[in-house]
Amino acid sequence: MYAAMNRGAIVTLTANPSLDRTIELAGTLMRGAVQRAAGSHEESGGKGVNVCRALKASGTDCIAVLPGDDSDPVMAGLRAADIDYRNLPIGTALRANLTLTEPDGTTTKVNLPGPALDTSLLESLVALTVDACAGPGDSMPASWLVLAGSLPPGLPADFYAVAARAVRERFGAAAPLLAIDSSGVPLLGALLHDAAPDLLKPNGEELSEVTGIASGEELEANPPLAASAAMTLIERGVGAVLATLGAKGALLVTRDGAWLATRPPVAARSTVGAGDSSLAGYLLAATAGQAPPDCLRQAVAHGAAAASLPGSTVPSMEQTEPGAVTVSPLELHPVPPVIPRGGPASTMPKEQD
């Protein structure tokens, strides 16, 4: 699907970054009780930031673009992790999210909305993204641009579409491939405003949301139906759909076919960032020129490895086991065309991540 790329870094845009604090509980979470923690972790986070951390762990050049002041703890965490970044000062602190994990891997997240960004900052954040995609000096432009996560209050529903169009207009045929990993407002806003990505990474609920087909639970329980739903997005201009289906594994759908990947269960410690690691695994395989089934295989291997690690810790390539992943072709069945449940951008549901 993708030839091996002799191009620049992978760029991620995280419009609503966070400082992710994870507390590992020694027992089951009990509401209203005082409990002891077995450990804690703190990482710079947000979907695009997590993707960058996973790419960096495997030695791949990446640049994180995000709002936030130089002195913000999120930026301090990126510097400590030696991750290249471009930040837009906003004069206020970024959000801090809290995650509670139980010994059996059950994860409870409390996400803040993030600081409101004046729409006047939109143009500056988009320009920062375009500059990051250009690369320093005469270097090659970025190979991928990842638009990931929720939108902070104040940014319009089509913000990711605006960013995608700006990059594509600036670089033309040399523009980086585009990946979108989001839900609700930014996801529907991108798809409804002519920003069909080369790769879309939904879960079952998000796939239902953007296609209007069945429910998230029904799609996760029925991979062939999920694949057929994903094909409706391919017919609308999306290059590939990488959908995670919970216990059923993950699937990849392109114009050339559909594949389902499964692997034996892992002992989960935290699911935080597992989906972001899956996307990083896919990108690592894609930039190496691997075939679609192998890109899917590495995506699942990365996600499983992330789930086995504490907090929002991301795995390196050496910590993944692609050989444990089974990939099988799926037969596609047509489904009737539908209108996304979100309707026009002005009436879209609020993004939940």
Which has the minimum average pLDDT: 4-8, 25-29, 325-329?
4-8
- Supply the residues annotated as catalytic: 276
SS3 83: coil
What pLDDT score was predicted for residue 340? 45
pTM as predicted: 0.89
Tell me which residue of 142, 138, 222, 192 sits closest to 348, measured CA to CA.
192
Residues 6 or more apart whose CB falls under 8 angstroms from that of 30 comprise none
Q: How confident is the model at residue 5 (pLDDT cuts 50, 70, 90)?
A: low
pLDDT at 118: 87
Q: Give the number of other Cβ atoms within 10 Å of residue 2's Cβ.
A: 21
Percentage of the residues of the chain whose pLDDT score is greater than 90? 72
| Helices 184-192 and 204-211, packing angle to 10 deg | 40
With b for 16 or more beta-carbon neighbours within 10 A and e for fewer, the 331-342 pattern comes to: eeeebeeeebeb
**What's the average model confidence in pLDDT over 88-103?**
94
Q: According to the model, what pLDDT value does residue 309 have?
A: 82
pLDDT at 6: 52
pLDDT in tens, 104-149: 888 899 999 999 998 889 999 999 999 999 976 656 789 999 999 9
Q: Is the pLDDT of residue 337 over 70?
A: no
The predicted pLDDT at position 287 comes to: 95
d(CA 13, CA 233): 23
**235-275 pLDDT per residue, tens:** 999 999 999 998 788 999 999 999 999 999 887 776 777 88
Structure tokens given for 144: 């991928």
- Band of residue 96 on the pLDDT scale cut at 50, 70, 90: very high
pLDDT of residue 138: 54
